[in-house]
Every structure is written in C-alpha cells, then in structure tokens.
Structure 1
Amino acid sequence: MNTDNDAAGVLFARARVSPRDERVFLLKLAVALLICFLGGFLALNDGWVAVLLGELLLAAIYTHMVELQHQCLHHSAFRRSATHRPVGFLLGLPLLSAYSHYRVQHLQHHKYLGTPDDSEFFGFDSRAPLTWGALLRGTFSPARLGQVGVDIVKSCRGSWAYTMGQIAERAKRQVIAEYRLFAVFVLAAAGLTATGHGHAVLVLWVVPLLLSIPMHFLLELPEHVLCDNDSTDVLRNTRTISGSRFSQWFTNGNNFHVEHHAAMVVPINRLSERHPLAKEWATHTEESYLTFYRKVLQEASRNSRRRT
C-alpha cells in the first residue's frame, strides 16, 4: 500500500457542499452582517474614538466579505449553484468587486497558475522582485478603483471587453450588467450626498473603501509571493499558513491556500482538515501571518539594497 499516494489523494480530493457546509456559510454571512451594523453604528457616533473604531470595523468586514465572495466564485458555499451569483454580487458591492468579472479571471488564475498566462484579478505581480517600492505601491495604490471606474463607464457605454483571454458571451453580459448596477450604486451615493446625507456616505462607504485597499492587499499577498512561481506544482507555487482562529475566520480560510488550489471546489470550512497534509507536503509553509510578513520585510530590504 502506497501511503504517500493515499495522502496526496486526500489533499487533492473533491467534495460536494453538504447541508452543514451551507449552514456554516450562512452563519458567516450573519456574523458579517452583525459586524456591519455595529461598525455603522460606531461610525455614525459623535466621539472620535468610536468613529475610528467603526471605520476600521467597516473596512475590515468589507474586506472579509470579499473573501466570502471568493468562496461563492467557486460555487462551494451553497448547494444550489444559482444562489452564488446574487449573494456574491452583494458581498462584493461595498468594495466594488464585480462577482462575474472576478469569477472569470480568478478561475483563469487557478487554471494558469505558474505559467505566463496567470493573472489575478487584483493586479499585483507576485513574480516580480519584491522591493519597498513594489510593496508601497501595492499596499496604497488606488489603481484598482480607477480600473473599476473605467469598467463601469465602458459597461454603461456598451464597449466593455474582456482583455485577459476568452470569455463566454453569457458571462460577458453578466459582467456588464453588474458594472451597470455599480453605476446605479455610485449614482445613488452621489444623490444622497447632494441631498445632505454626504456624511453618512463618507463614513459608511467612502472612508472604509479607501481603508480596505491596504487591508485587502496585505490579506492577499501571502498566497503566492516568494513561492516558486515558475512551477505549475501547487505544492511549490502556493503557500499555506496555519494561522490563528481569528485569522482563519477573517481570511475565510484563505490561509489554507495550498489546500484550496489543490481542490478548489471543496467548501472552505473543510480545508483545515487537510492542513496537516499540506504542511507535510508543501514547500512554503508558515505558522502565522507574522512570520510571513517578517520574511517579506526582510526580502524587500535585501532587494532594495541591491538596487541602490
């Protein structure tokens, strides 16, 4: 009996969404909604400490909701596939993350990981040398929001086109429809501002949206950076992080990224079961996010010194 092959089979095995998996995801949605209400209540408070805490909570939970949206992309949250798009769209709305566009490009990322055709939706090139400049640009750059604005305008004009490969006509229509809904959302926010509700728009959406840019970048960074990006072997080109219970919840299991790429349709709440195998087999493993970020800072310092 080949135990190595048996272990690899478990790591790469598929799994269907069970009623329990669906209940776990619904609980995550309920918790996210409660935190949204709490953050909003604090953000609309008069005291600056409460406002600051509310802004940070909203930015953090909007970022967490994009990770929940990520699970919807893979149709691993609900037993009915049709449920994923409307829920995924709403989860991405605060950060203007278009579900159907994200899905097309993210599934392409899974297909082409480790090849020149790989391109992730949020635009950071994990294969480029890691320097202080690259880190700062990625952490604070509003470029993605600018691109969303371009996509909204092109969709409203009917000229939007997918530039990263092939896209089915139905998926293209869905992308355009979602960006047009974003236009309605932005116009509604502008209308509220014009009618005297600008403060609420600012603290409940605009400020958290801007704060989420560095949060989301730092959350996504560990996935493939400083891995063997010229390899198509998921055990070499992807990182897994044990993390704390809090980081596992906040990232919605994104810390188990080797496990996710090994079997992307497996409900994310089940990936922890495969983590011991991933730690044994994968090249790039970390115990915590802190140890990963320490390595990133060391690598950026080395590369920046070489360039001076």
Structure 2
Amino acid sequence: MPDDASPTGPATLFTRLKVTPADELVFVAKLALLAVLTSGGVILALQQNLWAAALGIVVLAAMFTHAVELQHQCLHHSAFRRALPHRLIGVPLGIPLFVVYSHYRVRHLQHHRFLGTPQDTEFFGFDTRGPLTPRALLRGLLDYPRLGAVAKDVVRAATGRWSYEFGHVAPAMRRRIVTEHVLLGAAVAGLAGLALLGHGEYVLRLWALPLLLAVPLHFLVELPEHLLCDTETTDVLRNTRSIRGSWLSTWFTNGNNLHIEHHAAMTVPINRLGERHAETRSFAVHVERSYAGFYRVLWQALRSRPTEP
C-alpha cells in the first residue's frame, strides 16, 4: 500500500522512517539489559541449590529467545544508522539458539516479500498454512530437528558443499552465510572441547539445558504472527496479527507482538512501532489484546476443528 493512503485507510502505518541516534541508543540499551540479565542467569545457573540453578537455566533460555528477537531487528537494518554493526551484533545474538544471521536474513526478507503467496519462505519450520492439528503444533513446539538441520549445514559449509535451496543468492552473501555457519560450528566445537576436558556441567547448565527450553519458548513467541490469518492474500491487514500486549511482552519479543506494523514498514525501528498501533486496531482484522487472548483463540480453533478420522 502506498504511503499516501486514502482518508478511509491508514495514514501512517505504511510510512517509512530512518533510524535516528535516539533509536540507536534504545537498541544499545536493550543489548546492555540482555547482557545484565544473561550474566544474572549464568550466576544462578551455577549455584549448588537446584532451585536457584533451575531458575538460572530458565532465565538463560529466555535470554536465548530474546536475543533472536533482537537479531531480527538487526537483519532488517533498523537498529543502527550504518549497515556494518547489524551483522557484527546480529551474528553472535543468534549463536546460542543455532540461528545463522545472514541465512536468516535472506530467508526472512523473502518471507516479507512473498507473504501471502506460495513462495513464502519463513525461516523457522512451522508452516501456518498447513492443517491446524495438535500433532502439528507439538511438532513445531519441539522442533529439535531444526538443530540437526543446522548442524548438517555447518558440515556442508565447512566442506564447501553448502547451497541455498530457495532461489538465487549472491556470491558475496553466500560467502557470508558459509562463514557464519563455520563460526557456529567452531563455537559448538569449543563447547564440546570444554566438556571433554571435564567441564561438561558448565556446558550443560549454561547452554545445553537452556537451549532445550529456548526451542519451545521461541516457537510460542513466533506462533501468533500469521496463524489463523488469511494466508491467501498479500494484504498485511488480513494476513498478519498484532498483539497489543504489555510492556513486558513488548520488551521480551522486541516489538514482535506489533507484527502488522512491522510488516507494513519493515525498516521502521522497532521502538517506533507502538506509535502506529491505533491505526492497526482501526483497520486490521487480526488484533488481540494479549498473548493469553491469542492462545484462547487458538484453543477455540482447535476445539472446533473437524474430528480426524
């Protein structure tokens, strides 16, 4: 939809904005808070008291998930005024959850371009266009096979056999993707080395167990974006969902709750999307007040689906 929308449609929802110095500071503050909370999670996870350690593992899982949401802003180049810092920051943000920055960027930008068409290539595996069944949701919730698929890509990258399966990718971008897969492989190899040297408990508490929790947690964050929306239209006011949410859910998802606003103008700094939510409530089809509200809608949809033979 053009920026000069008619008086009967959104006036500012599709308007682009450039990143300002103030927007940069907001994102840097988010990175600083991530570092503080992650450090707190590490301290707790290493405690001898099992309850404290369990809390630390949960905090780390939440931070792995939150880091990927911050990475999402980096891949849209809407966090900094220059391009370079986005990759420098974005690459390490995804390593704990096995998300390779440049690969995610290519796939995700295709998702934005082709949303509502058969060419949609969302990066994470759950296909909201498929049949909605408890089995499909459980498979998405426990998508540990994705980790194995990434591990195979690491091997392919390290041996010069990696290729992009969803169309053409420029040689320079391919080199970036291959390099970042190798970096991920080196990080995992380093952790495996620490375990072999007798530090396996540290690896278990600070990475392996948080990773197991982060996989379903990230799925629950991503699921509302397009599920139960009109998947056969390119109209973002009908094929995407926004959730008003609280300050906590908005922070934790890094504004991913305002997903209509994001798809309408994907390069707008995330911290500015709230300014557009009033128009979203006026013109969009799928808007929920909270994540709990969305999951109630999902539960009702599951209950009312036709009985499987």
After TM superposition, the score normalised by the length of structure 1 is 0.97
Q: Deviations over 1:20-53 (max 9, x none)?
A: 0000000000000000000000000001110110
What is residue 223 of structure 1 aligned with on the other side?
A: 225
SS of structure 2 residue aligned to 1:94: helix
What is residue 203 of structure 1 aligned with on the other side?
A: 205
Cα distance between partner residues in 2 of 1:56 and 1:4? 47
What is residue 144 of structure 1 aligned with on the other side?
A: 146
What is residue 173 of structure 2 aligned with on the other side?
A: 171
SS of structure 2 residue aligned to 1:5: coil
Match for residue 51 of structure 1 among 40, 50, 53: 53
Cα distance between partner residues in 2 of 1:71 and 1:189? 27
How far has the Cα of 1:195 moved from its partner?
Answer: 0.7
What is residue 163 of structure 2 aligned with on the other side?
A: 161
What is residue 307 of structure 2 aligned with on the other side?
A: 306
Going by fraction, where is helix more abundant, 1 or 2? 1
What is residue 297 of structure 2 aligned with on the other side?
A: 295
Question: 1:123-134, aligned counterparts within 5 Å?
Answer: 123-134=125-136
Cα distance between partner residues in 2 of 1:41 and 1:171? 38
SS of structure 1 residue aligned to 2:126: coil
Contact 2:44–2:55, Cα closer than 8 Å, also in 1: yes
Q: How many residues align?
A: 306
Cα distance between partner residues in 2 of 1:124 and 1:135? 8
What is residue 23 of structure 1 aligned with on the other side?
A: 25
Contact 1:243–1:288, Cα closer than 8 Å, also in 2: yes
Cα distance between partner residues in 2 of 1:219 and 1:273? 22
Contact 2:9–2:283, Cα closer than 8 Å, also in 1: no
The letter for the 1-side match of 2:227 is V
What is residue 284 of structure 2 aligned with on the other side?
A: 282
How far has the Cα of 1:6 moved from its partner?
Answer: 7.9
The letter for the 2-side match of 1:36 is T
Contact 1:131–1:299, Cα closer than 8 Å, also in 2: no
The alpha-carbon distance between structure 1 residues 162 and 242, as it changes in their structure 2 partners (threshold 3 A), is: same
Contact 1:73–1:84, Cα closer than 8 Å, also in 2: yes
Structure 2 residues not aligned, in runs of 5+: none
After TM superposition, the score normalised by the length of structure 2 is 0.97
Contact 2:5–2:11, Cα closer than 8 Å, also in 1: no
Q: Deviations over 1:250-280 (max 9, x none)?
A: 0000000000000000000000000000111
How far has the Cα of 1:164 moved from its partner?
Answer: 1.1
Contact 1:223–1:238, Cα closer than 8 Å, also in 2: yes
Question: 1:175-186, aligned counterparts within 5 Å?
Answer: 175-186=177-188
